[in-house]
Amino acid sequence: MKKFCLLIFFLFNQFVFSQNIIVNKIEPPNWWTGMKWNNVQLMIYGENLNGVKAKFSDSRIKIKKIYDAENELYSFIDIQIPKNLPAGDYQLTLSKGSLSTSTTFPILKREKGIRHQGFSNNDVIYLLMPDRFANGDVSNDSIPGYYDSMQKIPNEWRFGGDIKGMIDKLDYLKDFGITAIWATPLVENNTFRSYHGYSATDFYKIDPRLGSNELYKMYVEEAHKRGIKIILDHVANHFSDHHPWMKNLPMKSWINGSLENHLPANHNKMVFTDIYADSSTIKHVEQGWFVKDMVDFNQENPFVQNYIIQNTIWWVEYNGLDGIREDTQPYNNQKFISRWAKIIMEEFPTLNIVGEVWTGESDFLAAYQKNTFLKKNFNTNLPSLTDFGLRDALIDFVTGKGNMYEIFNVIAKDFLFTDPNQLVTFVDNHDLERILFYANGNIERAKVAYTIMMTTRGIPCIFYGSEIGMVGGRGHGVLRAPFPGGFTGDTRDLFKKSDRNLYENSFYNFLKKLIDIRLNNKAFTSGKMIHYPPVANVYYFFREDANKKFFVIANGNEKESSVDLSLIKHQFDKKTNLNSILTDNKIIIGNDYKINVKPMSVEIYLLE
């Protein structure tokens, strides 16, 4: 009898349980008062959600529409938050017949202070990979239930770096002269070989191996205290095939294709401007899966659109972030990602967004910048772009494949850009072999390339570790090697001058000086530029503001070069004393306007 009762009780319980409305999660987890985006679409995760009614305890929050998803484990609810609503925890009740469940939805007051500063040509950015930079907390290195099997793959395992490590090294970066940090994505990547962060399994949660949402917020605050801005690496295009969605998609059209059947990646970024392109090619670029374990969002789906837009606004507002680096921009649905950028910039007008558009061809690249005059049937609304063109030319110079003319030629194409000052310039990044790898021991070539990058237009970005002369190797695992000194067991701490050898300190001091020169002379950040077609592999240009005029001259030859400046003597006027602010070199230009430039060298002369 007892057993029978238990069985009845069990069955009854199961019956009630299966009928109940369950809410497990709401995304976004909260919103704020006074946002421009105040029509919010709540994505409810739970059980038995089809056909629910919804009501807020405070009738000022309007329920505009409730959508049944194809899958009853989800529901989408459009709500409207009035501008003047007081902040507070509001009760949302979902009901169906006699069943109901209540949950809290916090609506917060917007924070004030140093927030949403943007980034510009007055900044120098530092790109780091959190897992590879510094391990500040060994207790989070391995977390039960999180994929760590990648440790078996040489150079592609997790190293344990984290946000605590990033906070610990803020003073190092401040001292180096950095004014903005772009860290690769920090959201949860509970998936195979995912130390890089580009395979989200939860868009609203920092990976616990890196820290927590609260710690990330603290990191931004600590950076802001030091005058350092924070750029969010944002991925709208794809997510991990281990995302819980893939077990239970809210709707079939949430993604492009399916795990088993989808278009592969197509890297032809020129199709959007190609006047002869077929719509099938465009579809292939927008809907192909970047790699087979990264699922492509169907950004034509309005629910997906709302999800991505709200998720971005949420992070920027939650943390007070200053900018966004948008990953794999051309692979997104172009109409959607353009709308996304417009909405983000309208919500945060002082923000900046740099789109990763991986093409070294200026004409294709330029078409991606906001308000381009080039023929394009939509405006990307992207203020900034990654300058792969200049990177390619600088690296070609370093390897000897190219020369000074190639560098000049790329910069001479700046007329194509709406605003070339907004181009993010770099010589290496987390996807490309390091400059000193290409230099193959020819350090002077690398220094020439860096000096041109740091004195020409744009927003320079330095890849972590390159400042201490890290060489790395070919392939992601090796070029993303851990920063020596950031990890347990490291024999030297290269964050410290005393542990760096002569070569490492010399390279560090060289880059630090370039940052100092750039940021303390407006001529380089926002001044006028005049440059000249290189003759015999010597490139020179002037940077000038109201107070100072500089002459940068780079000799790309392995021998001393004599340069005749007589055709440009008007540029020197009466200021024929050239005093290098990079070295102690001093020249007085004589009547013949000829100067000698040392082999494989560059000088930054102040005209006096």
Alpha-carbon span 281 to 284, nearest angstrom:
5
| Nearer residue to Ca ion within complex by CB, 359 or 456 | 359
Strands in 221-372 per DSSP E: 229-234, 238-240, 294-296, 323-326, 352-355
Alpha-carbon span 368 to 356, nearest angstrom:
10
* 414 belongs to the binding site for Ca ion (CB under 5 A): no
| Nearer residue to Ca ion within complex by CB, 160 or 420 | 160
* 300 belongs to the binding site for Ca ion (CB under 5 A): no
Alpha-carbon span 282 to 304, nearest angstrom:
20
| Nearer residue to Ca ion within complex by CB, 141 or 300 | 141
Q: Are 203 and 239 in contact (CB under 8 A)?
A: yes
| Nearer residue to Ca ion within complex by CB, 167 or 452 | 167
Token code pair at residue 186: 């920090």
DSSP of 577-603: EEEESSSS-EEE--TT-EEEE-TTEEE
| Nearer residue to Ca ion within complex by CB, 173 or 337 | 337
CA dist list (Å): 371 to 342, 380, 419: 12, 8, 9
| One-letter identity of residue 82 | P
| Positions in 244-263 near Ca ion (CB under 5 A) | none
**Which range of residues in 26-34, 187-195, 309-317, 327-335 is near Ca ion by CB under 5 A?**
327-335
Angle formed by the axes of helices 388-399 and 404-412, to 10°? Answer: 170
Residue written as token pair 């860290």 = 183
CA dihedral for 30, 36, 42, 43, sign (positive or negative) = negative
| Nearer residue to Ca ion within complex by CB, 183 or 582 | 183
| Nearer residue to Ca ion within complex by CB, 217 or 238 | 238
Q: Which of 58, 72, 141, 545 binds Ca ion (CB under 5 A)?
A: 141
CA dist list (Å): 113 to 30, 321, 398: 20, 12, 44
* 195 belongs to the binding site for Ca ion (CB under 5 A): no
Residue 515 Cβ vs Ca ion, minimum distance, rounded to whole Å: 29
Q: Which of 296, 406, 428, 433 binds Ca ion (CB under 5 A)?
A: 296
| Nearer residue to Ca ion within complex by CB, 29 or 257 | 257
* 160 belongs to the binding site for Ca ion (CB under 5 A): yes
* 338 belongs to the binding site for Ca ion (CB under 5 A): no
| Nearer residue to Ca ion within complex by CB, 137 or 207 | 137
* 525 belongs to the binding site for Ca ion (CB under 5 A): no
Buried b or exposed e, range 546-571, using 16+ CB within 10 angstroms? eebbbbbbbbbbeeebeeebeeeeeb
CA dist list (Å): 416 to 365, 368, 582: 9, 11, 32
| Nearer residue to Ca ion within complex by CB, 271 or 404 | 271
**Which range of residues in 122-130, 220-228, 292-300, 517-525 is near Ca ion by CB under 5 A?**
292-300
* 329 belongs to the binding site for Ca ion (CB under 5 A): no
Q: Which of 123, 131, 162, 168 binds Ca ion (CB under 5 A)?
A: 162
Alpha-carbon span 238 to 254, nearest angstrom:
11
Token code pair at residue 130: 């959190």
| Nearer residue to Ca ion within complex by CB, 303 or 438 | 303
Applying CB under 5 A, the site for Ca ion has a residue count of: 9
Give the DSSP letter of residue 329.
G
Helix or strand holding residue 533 (H, E): none
Residue 137 Cβ vs Ca ion, minimum distance, rounded to whole Å: 5
* 504 belongs to the binding site for Ca ion (CB under 5 A): no
Grouping H, G, I as helix, E, B as strand and the rest as coil, residue 282 is: helix
- φ/ψ of 427, rounded to 5, equals -110, -20
* 326 belongs to the binding site for Ca ion (CB under 5 A): no
| Nearer residue to Ca ion within complex by CB, 287 or 601 | 287
Q: Which of 137, 428, 467, 504 binds Ca ion (CB under 5 A)?
A: 137
**Which range of residues in 123-131, 135-143, 211-219, 472-480 is near Ca ion by CB under 5 A?**
135-143
Alpha-carbon span 179 to 322, nearest angstrom:
11
**Which range of residues in 109-117, 121-129, 139-147, 403-411 is near Ca ion by CB under 5 A?**
139-147
Q: Are 391 and 439 in contact (CB under 8 A)?
A: no
| Positions in 63-122 near Ca ion (CB under 5 A) | none
Residue written as token pair 């610990």 = 168
Residue 287 Cβ vs Ca ion, minimum distance, rounded to whole Å: 6
* 185 belongs to the binding site for Ca ion (CB under 5 A): no
Residue 292 Cβ vs Ca ion, minimum distance, rounded to whole Å: 14
Token code pair at residue 52: 């629910």
Residue 165 Cβ vs Ca ion, minimum distance, rounded to whole Å: 7
Alpha-carbon span 384 to 353, nearest angstrom:
6
Alpha-carbon span 72 to 51, nearest angstrom:
9
Helix or strand holding residue 302 (H, E): helix 302-319
Residue 466 Cβ vs Ca ion, minimum distance, rounded to whole Å: 23
Q: Which of 120, 199, 237, 555 binds Ca ion (CB under 5 A)?
A: 237
Token code pair at residue 430: 């987390």
Among residues 476, 399, 364, 392, which one has the least CA distance to residue 131? 476
Alpha-carbon span 535 to 547, nearest angstrom:
29
**Which range of residues in 2-10, 288-296, 446-454, 484-492 is near Ca ion by CB under 5 A?**
288-296
**Which range of residues in 13-21, 289-297, 396-404, 523-531 is near Ca ion by CB under 5 A?**
289-297
**Which range of residues in 37-45, 94-102, 231-239, 270-278 is near Ca ion by CB under 5 A?**
231-239
| Nearer residue to Ca ion within complex by CB, 162 or 241 | 162
Give the DSSP letter of residue 537.
T
**Which range of residues in 45-53, 162-170, 484-492, 550-558 is near Ca ion by CB under 5 A?**
162-170
Residue 419 Cβ vs Ca ion, minimum distance, rounded to whole Å: 27
| Nearer residue to Ca ion within complex by CB, 141 or 222 | 141
* 140 belongs to the binding site for Ca ion (CB under 5 A): yes
Residue 290 Cβ vs Ca ion, minimum distance, rounded to whole Å: 7
Q: Which of 90, 133, 254, 331 binds Ca ion (CB under 5 A)?
A: 331
Q: Which residues bind Ca ion (CB under 5 A)?
A: 135, 137, 140-141, 160, 162, 237, 296, 331
